[in-house]
Amino acid sequence: MRLTRYFLPVLKENPSEAQIVSHRLMLRAGMIRQQAAGIYSWLPLGFRVLRRIEQIVHEEQVRAGHIPMLMPTLQPADLWRESGRYDDYGEEMLRIRDRHKRDLLYGPTNEEMITDIFRAHVGSYKDLPLTLYHIQWKFRDEIRPRFGVMRGREFLMKDGYNFDIDQDAAIHAYNRHMVSYLRTYERMGLTAIPMRAASGPIGGDNTHEFLVLAETGESEVFYDSAILDLKLGNRVVDFDSREECEAIVREWTAPYARTDETHDEALFNAVPEARRKTSRGIEVGQIFYFGTKYSDPMKAVVVNDKGERVPVHMGSHGIGVSRLLGAIIEASHDDRGIIWPEGVTPFPVGIVNLKQGDIATDGACEALYNTLRAKGLEPLYDDRDERAGAKFATMDLIGLPWRITVGPRGLASGLVELTSRRTGQSEEMTPEAAVSRLVQIYENH
Amino acid sequence: MRLTRYFLPVLKENPSEAQIVSHRLMLRAGMIRQQAAGIYSWLPLGFRVLRRIEQIVHEEQVRAGHIPMLMPTLQPADLWRESGRYDDYGEEMLRIRDRHKRDLLYGPTNEEMITDIFRAHVGSYKDLPLTLYHIQWKFRDEIRPRFGVMRGREFLMKDGYNFDIDQDAAIHAYNRHMVSYLRTYERMGLTAIPMRAASGPIGGDNTHEFLVLAETGESEVFYDSAILDLKLGNRVVDFDSREECEAIVREWTAPYARTDETHDEALFNAVPEARRKTSRGIEVGQIFYFGTKYSDPMKAVVVNDKGERVPVHMGSHGIGVSRLLGAIIEASHDDRGIIWPEGVTPFPVGIVNLKQGDIATDGACEALYNTLRAKGLEPLYDDRDERAGAKFATMDLIGLPWRITVGPRGLASGLVELTSRRTGQSEEMTPEAAVSRLVQIYENH
């Protein structure tokens, strides 16, 4: 993408309404625009990151054997009357009446609707196990929306639902989700720690939240620092294997890690003092096993292998897709702006032309631009007629992890400069070497 | 995808509520489920097609130089009060009041919001031309939703908006959209004819609708059959060239083609009688040039090259993404079910195992399954323990364009059968030859 043809409305001033760094940087980098309290437009740069995150979530869910679909944003109130949650949900539920005076609501979550779909179409244990998920906009009418996309009202969430014949099978689904989430967050460059949580309005006993450590987190968290050393990496996981998934869950849940809601001082004090950490955390996902909480009242039953009708065991599993942009920035930025991890960056690399209009530098930039595109590494090419300082400041602000700087002096020796946003270190090399290096860096993303 | 692990709830019976064939087939093929009047869930098979269509729309918009972003589903009423449309829009607009008693609405279209974004961030002619688009769920509270996703209430639309310095530049944007739409529909296997249209609530003089010929279409259409011979094919188009885009628009608008709203009997009678056709059509897109209709009241002005503040010239351009599934099925089906064009099929090919449990057929199917996946051609493998007739009926119903049948008799000579859903013709060949053939067929999709 050529910057002169893009829509990247960066702000020079710090927006006064933003209280936390991710909100400030998303506004300054021209990623979002507030349209109403807690309701945002995703400007082109923000949209690119949102799509990357969505794509990673899809890939990891499919890898775990979960099936994508899509439920609508609006739901009939009657479904929620069946589960008993229509009255419970309170003012956070956005209630709507259509022209025929029928009650609708903007879905804050989808347990009722997915249970309705299941009971309409599935009747036998032979069709289990089944996990369906979607990535769809939700609405929660927060009394005080704040922190940009971190606590918006209209937000994008992945929510998945497992249907299993009994508790053991459902616990396997729970474990499968935990494993798939670990890899999902790792691919985004995040350390998200699974912590035992309280269940809240979804219900259920078994539940873990995934928290990213950040000063601005809404929860206080207590953990054994040993958990920070765990990495899933490229481990090949057989998601059908109960043992394999359970072993990974055991590995990640062995070190103490809890939020203030479930914190147990005695257990925490058993952790060696040097590893005992207190911090704040941003919740970026949560998994639940809640058994027959919805299948009982909504009569989602299947016939088991003995010919008996039994309610299915369910769980629900969410990832805060839009909120993740804020969380990633909270965890990865510096004074000059955002530092995108390679997995989610809007463009893998930026090209800065130090002398726009010069035949040699323009030519070298165009060649790099086309070569990178041909390799599937769409660059953002700053082809504006601006001074170098302004171009560097923009690149630093929007946080592309790599920058290639092309200037007349280097070109005289056939060299360009490759700079890491994270370390700030630059290296001179030929354009071909820079392309090879980038291809290598992005091979696993 | 293995069918035993998928969620494909096909119906044996014809659903009584469906009046038209696409609605009937989408329900029978387990693609959608109605959740409220005109509000649908997209079950896994339907979601796959929806994503394919979305992907094609994105690719062709980006090819034309248009920039993707995303606006929210809910909008503040105040924006619509500025343009004067809040009161005009009538009961089709779903009006919502939040917990703080602020008026919101579920966006039926986005002219106001995009104009608001533009005026907040763009001030100079140097930032033009600019075309922004998004693909987002919309809501229109139809008094009588019907025909499944063809006239739903919650529907997915691509809507794009161009901002240009004057009428000439905006007409180029209009032409660019027409050209990009022609290729978009062609890639979906559709013949969508641009027809001069009336403007309706968006406003504007220049407007064309794109109509797919089908008996169940809501509009009567009159056209010169010469237009059916026009194909854009793989023509390379320079979207920056006004002349090139204009020439293509002239080519497609030269033959007479109008809906009943703009039909001109005298002009129509000038078409040679053998080519004069009357039919019905389904609208799948519309483009508008409306000048300063929104930029005037909403004060979206830029400074031109003389230093004067002038309102920008705009247009808006829509593609009915979710409705297209219905339109494609209306245009491409037979007594046995759907016939997906290669460009939008949920799976490129189906594998039917005629003797599940037999070591040789199972082995051959597994090998084909893995080879096709490795080639990027994800097959739907019917690995159920069902008789051949039931497997064929399911494949025909869901309409995959190609089927590979694997049975013990053929395998004895090292052969499988490749069958075209469209022609019904089968050919025996080695598994390797079948894979090569499919790779070749899908090369351009």
What's the CATH number where B107 sits? 3.30.930.10
Q: Which of A98, A102, A144 to mutate to test the interface with B (most CBs of B within 10 A)?
A: A98
Q: Does residue A343 belong to any structural domain of this protein?
A: no
In terms of domains, do A163 and A264 share one? yes
Size of chain B, expressed as the number of residues it contains: 445
Q: How far apart are CA A208 and CA A299, in angstroms?
A: 27
In terms of domains, do A271 and A369 share one? no
* % of residues, chain B, pLDDT over 70: 98
What is the CATH classification number for the domain harbouring A427? 3.40.50.800
What Rg, from alpha-carbon coordinates, does chain B have? 24
Q: Which chain A residue lies closest to B153 (C-alpha atoms)?
A: A74
B381 pLDDT band (50/70/90 cuts)? very high
Q: Does residue B94 belong to any structural domain of this protein?
A: yes
In terms of domains, do A369 and A334 share one? no
In terms of domains, do A88 and A58 share one? yes
pLDDT at B203: 52
Spacing of C-alpha A297 from chain mean position: 32
* % of residues, chain A, pLDDT over 70: 98
- Cβ atoms within 10 Å, residue B116: 24
Q: Which of B17, B70, B91 to mutate to test the interface with A (most CBs of A within 10 A)?
A: B70
The pLDDT of A317-335, averaged and rounded, is 97
The pLDDT of B147-152, averaged and rounded, is 93
pLDDT at B292: 94
Q: Does residue A311 belong to any structural domain of this protein?
A: yes
Q: Which of A318, A338, A358 is the last residue of a domain?
A: A338
Q: Does residue A412 belong to any structural domain of this protein?
A: yes
pLDDT at B420: 98
Residue A272 has pLDDT above 80, yes or no: yes
Residue A23 has pLDDT above 90, yes or no: yes
Alpha-carbon gap: A117 to the closest alpha carbon of chain B (Å): 8
* % of residues, chain B, pLDDT over 90: 93
The pLDDT of B172-199, averaged and rounded, is 94
Q: Does residue A344 belong to any structural domain of this protein?
A: no
Q: Does residue A39 belong to any structural domain of this protein?
A: yes
Which of B277, B175, B144, B143 is CA-nearest to residue B220? B277
Q: How far apart are CA B85 and CA B93, in angstroms?
A: 10
Those residues with Cβ within 8 angstroms of residue B404's Cβ, 6 or more apart along the chain or in another chain: B349, B350, B351, B352, B368, B379, B416, B417, B418, B419, B431, B434
Q: Does residue B82 belong to any structural domain of this protein?
A: yes
Provide the β-strand partners of residue A419. Answer: A403, A426
Q: Which of A338, A367, A394 is the last residue of a domain?
A: A338
Alpha-carbon gap: B127 to the closest alpha carbon of chain A (Å): 8
Alpha-carbon gap: B16 to the closest alpha carbon of chain A (Å): 16
In terms of domains, do B252 and B359 share one? no
Residue B17 has pLDDT above 90, yes or no: no
Range of the structural domain that residue B433 is part of: 349-442
Q: Which of B338, B359, B376 is the last residue of a domain?
A: B338
In terms of domains, do B334 and B411 share one? no
Residue B201 has pLDDT above 60, yes or no: no
Question: Two tokens at B266?
Answer: 């005298």
Nearest to B113 among A35, A98, A104 (CB): A35
DSSP class of B213? E
Cβ pairs A/B, distance under 8 A: 145
Spacing of C-alpha B62 from chain mean position: 16
Residue B323 has pLDDT above 90, yes or no: yes
Question: Two tokens at B393?
Answer: 């009926």
What mean pLDDT is reported for chain B?
96
- Tens digits of per-residue pLDDT, B392-426? 999 999 999 999 999 999 999 999 999 999 999 99
Which of B388, B382, B392, B389 is CA-nearest to residue B362? B382
In terms of domains, do A428 and A316 share one? no
Spacing of C-alpha A380 from chain mean position: 23
pLDDT at B239: 98
State the Cα angle at A15 between A9 and A17, rounded to 5°: 130
Cβ of B72 and A41 within 8 Å?
Answer: yes
In terms of domains, do A82 and A125 share one? yes
Which of A194, A119, A190 is CA-nearest to residue A161? A119
pLDDT at B16: 85
pLDDT at B13: 86
Q: How far apart are CA A159 and CA A136, in angstroms?
A: 8
pLDDT at A437: 98
Task: Provide, as residue numbers in chain B, all residues whose Cβ is less than 8 Å from the Cβ of A143.
Answer: 99
Residue A383 has pLDDT above 70, yes or no: yes
Cβ of A71 and B7 within 8 Å?
Answer: no
- Tens digits of per-residue pLDDT, A81-107? 999 999 989 999 999 999 999 999 999
In terms of domains, do A353 and A205 share one? no
B343 contacts B56 by C-beta, under 8 angstroms: yes
B342 pLDDT band (50/70/90 cuts)? very high
Categorise residue B276: left if φ over 0, alpha if ψ from -120 to 50, beta otherwise.
beta
pLDDT at B204: 54
Task: Provide, as residue numbers in chain B, all residues whose Cβ is less than 8 Å from the Cβ of A33.
Answer: 117, 120-121
The pLDDT of B319-341, averaged and rounded, is 97
B180 contacts B64 by C-beta, under 8 angstroms: yes
In terms of domains, do B324 and B397 share one? no
Alpha-carbon gap: A194 to the closest alpha carbon of chain B (Å): 28
Question: Two tokens at B9?
Answer: 């709830």
Cβ of A137 and B72 within 8 Å?
Answer: yes
**Poorest-pLDDT segment among A1-5, A419-423, B12-16, B36-40:** B12-16
Cβ of A117 and B33 within 8 Å?
Answer: yes
Measured over the CA atoms of residue B128, residue B196, residue B51 and residue B76, the dihedral's sign is positive
Count of structural domains, chain A = 2
Residue A120 has pLDDT above 70, yes or no: yes
B28 contacts B337 by C-beta, under 8 angstroms: yes
B202 pLDDT band (50/70/90 cuts)? low
In terms of domains, do A307 and A367 share one? no
The pLDDT of B43-49, averaged and rounded, is 98
Nearest to B44 among A5, A67, A79 (CB): A67
Location of structure tokens 């660059």 = A379
Provide the β-strand partners of residue A68. Answer: A133
Those residues with Cβ within 8 angstroms of residue B312's Cβ, 6 or more apart along the chain or in another chain: B118, B128, B163, B164, B165, B292, B295, B300, B301, B302
From the number of C-beta atoms within 10 Å of its C-beta (0-12, 13-18, 19+), residue A229 rates as exposed
A215 pLDDT band (50/70/90 cuts)? confident
Provide the β-strand partners of residue B34. Answer: B40
In terms of domains, do A294 and A379 share one? no
Residue A196 has pLDDT above 60, yes or no: yes
Task: Provide, as residue numbers in chain B, all residues whose Cβ is less than 8 Å from the Cβ of A13.
Answer: none
Q: Does residue B344 belong to any structural domain of this protein?
A: no
B357 pLDDT band (50/70/90 cuts)? very high
Q: Which of B17, B57, B63, B67 to mutate to test the interface with A (most CBs of A within 10 A)?
A: B67
Spacing of C-alpha B173 from chain mean position: 20
Nearest to A72 among B35, B113, B130 (CB): B35
B198 pLDDT band (50/70/90 cuts)? confident
Alpha-carbon gap: B404 to the closest alpha carbon of chain A (Å): 24
Size of chain A, expressed as the number of residues it contains: 445
Location of structure tokens 């996981």 = A237
The pLDDT of A22-35, averaged and rounded, is 97
Cβ of B113 and A41 within 8 Å?
Answer: yes
The pLDDT of A252-268, averaged and rounded, is 94
B221 contacts B209 by C-beta, under 8 angstroms: no
Task: Provide, as residue numbers in chain B, all residues whose Cβ is less than 8 Å from the Cβ of A130.
Answer: 7
Phi, psi (degrees; rounded to nearest 5) at A312: -75, 155
Q: Which of A2, A4, A7 to mutate to test the interface with B (most CBs of B within 10 A)?
A: A7
Cβ of B47 and A39 within 8 Å?
Answer: no
Task: Provide, as residue numbers in chain A, all residues whose Cβ is less than 8 Å from the Cβ of B90.
Answer: none
Those residues with Cβ within 8 angstroms of residue B277's Cβ, 6 or more apart along the chain or in another chain: B222, B223, B224, B225
Measured over the CA atoms of residue B346, residue B351, residue B356 and residue B359, the dihedral's sign is negative
